Structure 1
Amino acid sequence: MAPSKVPPQSPPSFDLTPSSLLSEAASIIAKTRALEDRLAETLTPETATFSNLVAPLTADDTTAGSRTSILTLPASVSPDKALRDAAREAQRLLSKAATEGLARIDIASLVSAVHDRYQAGKEDLDGESAHLLERLFRQYRRNGLTLGVGEERERFLAMKEELQEVLTAAKKELTEADDGVWLTRPELDGVPETVLAQLQRDGEGDGERLRVTFRQGHYRPVMQNATLSETRSRMYLADCYRFPDNTERLETVVRLRDSIAKLLRYEHHAALRIEDKMSESVEEVIELLEDVKARLAPVAKAEIETMLELKRADLRERGGDIPDHDVDRLNFWDWAFYNRKLKRDKYAVDSARISEYFEVEHTLRGMLSLFEKLFGLVFRREEECHAWHEDVVLYTVWDSEENGGEFLSYLYIDLYARDGKYAGAHHVSLVPGIVESVECGPRRYQVSALICNFNKPTPEQPTLLQHPEVKTLFHELGHAIHYLVTKTKYAMGFSRDFVEIPSIVLENWIWVPDVLGELGRHYSLLSDQYREHWVKEQKSKTAGDISLEPEATLPRQLAEDLVRSRTVNGAHDMLHQVQLALFDLTIHTGRGFKSVSDIDLTRLWNTGMEETMGLSGLIDPETGDMRGWDQAGFGHIFRAYDAGYFAYALYDHTHPVLFYSQ
């Protein structure tokens, strides 16, 4: 690709203040409302057509969509609290306006008339336009088309507004959380020094304490490596007791969703949500989940027995008085620790050594190079990037010269954790892409953002990814690839239970030794400062001179050992996803209960997790009391995966453990 090429579309502007953000949101709302008013005044059910009704509504939605995601993005990424709060308010206002728009009987009746005409064969539409019309009709139906004007509609609008307010508050609690646990160095015995060096410190000498946050770059290494069970227990249970206000909010969310669904004449919220998915019915999904759960149960039981033997041997080696229940019970906080030991001892998987080959930025460049080869793309990092934070980098994405060299999209990448940033990893479509069309005008190019939360490197100490973090990066990049290569007339988005499939498929590259070899390069060879850091680390371990150089790329044997461990405890991993999906569908159907209001969400979560996973710790063995309310941190339920989390569990058909369990 010639370096002189200039993208045909400028990157979006992120130059926002709280007042400008809210002003722009209000302008978008007013413009849409004016269009709806004009269409309602000038069209009748007899004169409304796809071209004079649906097309302008869709064009307006596409134009608005090129800014609304940008206006709401600061809520989860901005370092400025005032801007985060303004973005949440904009999100609330935009959602309220969208609900009111979709609840307009005058516009809904016009859309219904066009839909009826198409169903009767009196409106000739191509497949994509027909799909758009069907989706739009269903949107209006799910937003009160059948309610008419009166008390029911007013109740519907009031409940929708309350629901949005509760969801906004819940997401704010998840995003703004910056809590952690203070632990001493003896309590953190076994945790790699590279992790400890990143932690906030308090005190000196024997009284020094280190603060372990719940960011994955801190939490996961402690759970995997801390030799003291008490330390892992303390971290795990502290995590379960986070977000106390979200426990009540989730109860409110479940109740409101159920009431809204029933008001719209749906059996339950899950039945309402299944309409915009590929899956045929809620019952079909539950049946599939229960089938997977049953097939995996004996495999999971064998996995637990293997882990228990490992735990017993470890406890015997440590000596001292060991309570009987500790010998015969595997706790949730035991799992990551003994899983690492099992892979190390039986499969020679040295997680720490492997991570030395996956410095985050080099790994990212390697993944982009792989996608270039797979899909005929070119990623070019831009020198200038005007985004929401100085850590963000910008890539322009093009077809390769062999494929025409066409510009495809902008891709923003925000890798590192910081205060005020949502702790999860996710992809965001900032500007929807469409091809040129009569209905929506000239082509618009996709703009995406990849948001991660890896520990930020220092000049001397790199960010090294554990293998599961490499998987996460592949997964989220998979979403970006899916969006940027898509070419459609309309920016409709994808069914929620399809959107995960491309990413799940692309994750499989982390199990190909040749790919791991290409991605992995020892971090000490990436810079002189990293080299000094590595030498210092080796001297502290060997107390002598360093005579051996690290292999430049990930050793083949390490890669093959890692791949051999792929199915180790695979049933456990899949059952965790299955249980999350079943919890999601249970609270959104009320199955097994007279109503959703009768569900004790904490008890349902804790008992379901213990029974499905075969692990202990969420229910006090002496009193039967519930420990924590971990469902309050189940962010997907608050972020558009309600009654849809099953996508993760059901569509990972590539996992070998499913075939071994048949």
Structure 2
Amino acid sequence: MPFSPNPFLDPAFEIRWAVCRAEHVEPAISEALAQARAAIEKIATQPLGELSFASTFLALEQATELLGTAWGRVTHWQSVADHPELREAHNKMLPQVSEFYASVPLNPELWQRLKAFSESGVASSVQGIERRLLEETVADFRQAGADLPEAQRTRLAALQSELAQATQKYSENVLDATNAWELIVEDEARLAGLPEHAKDAARASAQRAGRTSGWRFTLHQPSLEPVMVYAEDEALRRELWEASAAVGAREPHDNTALVRQILALRAEKAALLGKPHFADVVLERRMAQSGAQALAFVEDLAARTSEAFLREARELEEFKAAQTGASEVGRLAPWDLAFWAEKLRQHKHAFDAEALRPYFPIERVLEGLFELARRVFGVVARPREPAPEVWHAEVKFYDLFDEKSGEQLGSFYTDWHPRDSKRGGAWMNYLCTGERPGSTRGAPRTPHLGLICGNLTPPVEGRPALLTHREVETVFHEFGHLLHHLLGEVPIKSLNGVNVAWDFVELPSQIMENWCWERESLDLFARHYETGEPIPEPLFAAMVGARNFRSATFLVRQISLAKLDLLLHIDSARYLAAADIEAAIRADTAALLVPADPPVPTALRRFNHIFSDPVGYAAGYYSYQWAAVLDADAFTRFQREGLFNQKTGREFRQKILSRGNAAPAAELYRDFMGRDPELQAHLTRQGV
């Protein structure tokens, strides 16, 4: 496609972010939709006697490429630079895009031709990766309802559009509620216990907001977390906790009705597809295969962890009672949990997590991460100079090369710190999937393009961004996702990189976190930002000793989210019939919630993972623990064969990272490990 003045349609690899405007969205997406519809129409109207693999499955693969690229740029930009005009433009086109994608597998003429070719004698000659595309496409269409009667297909298409709009609004409510709240503290005495970096950041935040005095706190994690963990002022902790707990639960950003609408739409979709519930729709082709098996996995983990979880809860209650001289042991308030847990950790392990922060300046962390990737996977990441256009001044751009051949594999953006215009959390995404050898287009090899974003501790005047160890794990985690995309060698783009079974997609990201706990790899980058000294051995030993401090509590927290998600999508009717859906799901997951008075609310109305996308992690949040089993087990190979063993790293790259969805996930795992995954390594790592 030739150069386009519209940056969302411009085929150039380097995106012209500086010229992106909200008014570009509608014409770009309208044009891309028109081209995609024309391409689908061409496939769907070709004579049945002239069908070929190229004119059906390959043509379908390419039909939506421009739309996918343009819409991907729009949705990414909206996630990192949200403003009213852009939100309006995005939301105007969202129903049309959703309706189009929903209509593709429900197009009877298109399905007739795909099915006719797949059942023809000629189709038996389609082998290798093309065979995988054929089989996956046929399965996608059937799973989406291609064989249903016309009335049901029509309703399914409408459902997808309704889901897209409802989940987008849910996400907007979480962001808007988060941004709508702030607290200005004028009395420095209220900040007793807060680390200096947190006070400096709060002061800088107040100044950016136009305040000449005071300290500004928000509900963004780098601002919220230090208060909950360190602030001696219980009233201050309570104020921030109550505001955080209310995100998505109060007007004008109340998500309660949207939760009901989304669950009802998903349940209706499952019924139309002949499934008992939405979880079975989602999991049919994932490793877990069904909602029942996923729930059994989660409940098994809960049973194995329950005793340790209750022991940890009691220990914390007893510790607080002893420290405060209370006559009786009682429940902690929710705003006391993190505070007293940190006190207990320091008491038991003589370890203050804040003592690690000076050793993790973000630039050194990234340099060490890139060096690790070079040693293990044979790739070299370099910042691009001069950098291409970016969407914000803090964003950086890198190229990734194969160390041996020098060939460029891909490029990526990084955007690490919070802004009011940026959604919360951390994530990886891709903007372009390049050509790879074997592509039927015969095109030369081209690089992939991706991005990683976070909401990590920002720098303050005179000091770099100093990360917590958990934030370091987040950086490694998202880079693992990025490698999965950039190292993909699948010639069929829709089968490349992270386009894998959702309960397998976290393996490449979570395995990277393991290196954050090893002295050998930490020494690559964990250096004091002022002295350059490595982490002292006593501090490192304390960090490792405290690794499994309250690990059962953390694990059960993840299990509780996974169970909440599965129950909502397995038994939607019961929850929709409840007068108070929050109270109903809380009662069913109460045994997995940390005991507190008042009780800790569930994440129901701010749970972006499962409610901010038509599918997303819905009925799939268990994937984090499923993949934790995989990553802990797979990392045992590196522990046996060497943390920087290039042979092991190259095998992981060749057998997992490069292969995307070229074969079933279980097959890829067995190819690397020589066997099926085993649970014990995960439990051992958690100390459970």
TM-score range, shorter chain: 0.7 to 0.9
Residues 560 and 466 (structure 1), Cα distance of their counterparts in 2 relative to 1, 3 Å cut: same
Question: 1:304 is aligned with what amino acid?
Answer: A
**2:552 counterpart of 1:571:** yes
User: Counterparts of 1:395 and 1:285 in 2: how far apart (Å)?
Assistant: 38
CA-to-aligned-CA distance 1:501-523 (integer Å, 9 cap, x gap) = 11111110111022223221212
Question: 2:419 is aligned with what amino acid?
Answer: R
After TM superposition, the structure 1 stretch with the greater mean CA deviation from structure 2, 207-216 or 329-338, is 207-216
User: Counterparts of 1:47 and 1:282 in 2: how far apart (Å)?
Assistant: 41
Residues 72 and 89 (structure 1), Cα distance of their counterparts in 2 relative to 1, 3 Å cut: farther
Residue equivalent to 2:256: 247
User: Counterparts of 2:687 and 2:406 in 1: how far apart (Å)?
Assistant: 46
CA-to-aligned-CA distance 1:560-617 (integer Å, 9 cap, x gap) = 22112111111111111111111111111107x6475448431144335542134224
Residue equivalent to 1:546: none
CA-to-aligned-CA distance 1:144-184 (integer Å, 9 cap, x gap) = 3122223x333322222211111111122233431334245
**2:341 counterpart of 1:330:** no
Q: Following superposition of structure 1 onto structure 2, how do residues 192-591 of structure 1 map, counting pairs within 5 Å? A: 192-199=195-202, 200-201=205-206, 210-244=215-249, 245-316=254-325, 327-383=329-385, 384-400=387-403, 403-442=404-443, 443-492=445-494, 493-525=499-531, 552-590=533-571
**2:572 counterpart of 1:606:** no
Residue equivalent to 2:170: 170
Measured after TM superposition, the shift of residue 209 of structure 1 is: 5.2
Measured after TM superposition, the shift of residue 661 of structure 1 is: 7.0
| SS of residue matched to 1:488 | coil
Contact 1:79/1:389 (8 A) holds in 2: no
Q: Please give the TM-score of this superposition, normalised by the length of structure 1.
A: 0.86
User: Counterparts of 2:419 and 2:506 in 1: how far apart (Å)?
Assistant: 26
CA-to-aligned-CA distance 1:53-76 (integer Å, 9 cap, x gap) = 000110233444333311221111
| SS of residue matched to 1:106 | helix
Measured after TM superposition, the shift of residue 47 of structure 1 is: 4.0
After TM superposition, the structure 1 stretch with the greater mean CA deviation from structure 2, 552-561 or 246-255, is 552-561
After TM superposition, the structure 1 stretch with the greater mean CA deviation from structure 2, 442-451 or 225-234, is 225-234
User: Counterparts of 2:588 and 2:485 in 1: how far apart (Å)?
Assistant: 35
Measured after TM superposition, the shift of residue 464 of structure 1 is: 1.2
1:24 is aligned, of 15, 22, 28, to 28
User: Counterparts of 1:418 and 1:201 in 2: how far apart (Å)?
Assistant: 14
Contact 2:578/2:584 (8 A) holds in 1: no
Contact 2:32/2:66 (8 A) holds in 1: no
Residues 133 and 155 (structure 1), Cα distance of their counterparts in 2 relative to 1, 3 Å cut: same
User: Counterparts of 2:174 and 2:432 in 1: how far apart (Å)?
Assistant: 25
Question: 1:162 is aligned with what amino acid?
Answer: E
Contact 2:94/2:165 (8 A) holds in 1: no
User: Counterparts of 2:138 and 2:451 in 1: how far apart (Å)?
Assistant: 30
**2:105 counterpart of 1:110:** no
Question: 1:159 is aligned with what amino acid?
Answer: L
Contact 1:146/1:264 (8 A) holds in 2: no
Residue equivalent to 2:667: none
Alignment root-mean-square deviation, CA: 2.6
| SS of residue matched to 1:453 | coil
Residues 605 and 75 (structure 1), Cα distance of their counterparts in 2 relative to 1, 3 Å cut: farther
| SS of residue matched to 1:73 | helix
- How many residue pairs get aligned? The number is 605
Contact 2:146/2:153 (8 A) holds in 1: no
Q: Percent identity?
A: 26
Question: 1:87 is aligned with what amino acid?
Answer: H
Q: Any stretches of 5+ residues in structure 1 without a counterpart? A: 1-7, 317-321, 526-550, 620-626
Contact 1:588/1:596 (8 A) holds in 2: no
User: Counterparts of 1:631 and 1:72 in 2: how far apart (Å)?
Assistant: 24
Contact 2:316/2:341 (8 A) holds in 1: yes
1:48 is aligned, of 31, 48, 51, to 51
Measured after TM superposition, the shift of residue 9 of structure 1 is: 7.8
CA-to-aligned-CA distance 1:80-109 (integer Å, 9 cap, x gap) = 442344234444432221112222111122
Residue equivalent to 1:191: 194
User: Counterparts of 1:294 and 1:93 in 2: how far apart (Å)?
Assistant: 46
User: Counterparts of 2:70 and 2:375 in 1: how far apart (Å)?
Assistant: 32
Question: 1:104 is aligned with what amino acid?
Answer: N
After TM superposition, the structure 1 stretch with the greater mean CA deviation from structure 2, 288-297 or 167-176, is 167-176
2:41 is aligned, of 37, 43, 61, to 37
CA-to-aligned-CA distance 1:452-473 (integer Å, 9 cap, x gap) = 1123313413321111111111
Measured after TM superposition, the shift of residue 223 of structure 1 is: 0.9
Question: 1:506 is aligned with what amino acid?
Answer: M
| SS of residue matched to 2:430 | strand
**2:622 counterpart of 1:646:** yes
1:632 is aligned, of 601, 605, 611, to 605
Question: 1:283 is aligned with what amino acid?
Answer: A
Question: 2:560 is aligned with what amino acid?
Answer: Q
Contact 1:378/1:398 (8 A) holds in 2: yes
| SS of residue matched to 1:519 | coil
| SS of residue matched to 2:270 | helix
Residue equivalent to 2:670: none
User: Counterparts of 2:525 and 2:94 in 1: how far apart (Å)?
Assistant: 39
CA-to-aligned-CA distance 1:325-358 (integer Å, 9 cap, x gap) = xx41134333322222222222222222210111
Residues 434 and 289 (structure 1), Cα distance of their counterparts in 2 relative to 1, 3 Å cut: farther
| SS of residue matched to 1:366 | helix
Contact 1:76/1:84 (8 A) holds in 2: no
CA-to-aligned-CA distance 1:278-336 (integer Å, 9 cap, x gap) = 222221111111110001000111211221222112222xxxxx695xx4113433332
After TM superposition, the structure 1 stretch with the greater mean CA deviation from structure 2, 378-387 or 306-315, is 306-315
Measured after TM superposition, the shift of residue 450 of structure 1 is: 0.5
Residue equivalent to 1:624: none
Measured after TM superposition, the shift of residue 495 of structure 1 is: 1.4
Contact 1:567/1:657 (8 A) holds in 2: no
User: Counterparts of 2:331 and 2:189 in 1: how far apart (Å)?
Assistant: 25
Q: Please give the TM-score of this superposition, normalised by the length of structure 2.
A: 0.83
Residues 43 and 583 (structure 1), Cα distance of their counterparts in 2 relative to 1, 3 Å cut: farther
| SS of residue matched to 1:566 | coil
Measured after TM superposition, the shift of residue 647 of structure 1 is: 0.8
Contact 1:255/1:597 (8 A) holds in 2: no
Q: Any stretches of 5+ residues in structure 2 without a counterpart? A: 1-10, 633-679
Contact 1:513/1:556 (8 A) holds in 2: no
Contact 1:496/1:644 (8 A) holds in 2: yes
User: Counterparts of 1:269 and 1:449 in 2: how far apart (Å)?
Assistant: 31
Residues 300 and 251 (structure 1), Cα distance of their counterparts in 2 relative to 1, 3 Å cut: same
Contact 1:474/1:503 (8 A) holds in 2: yes
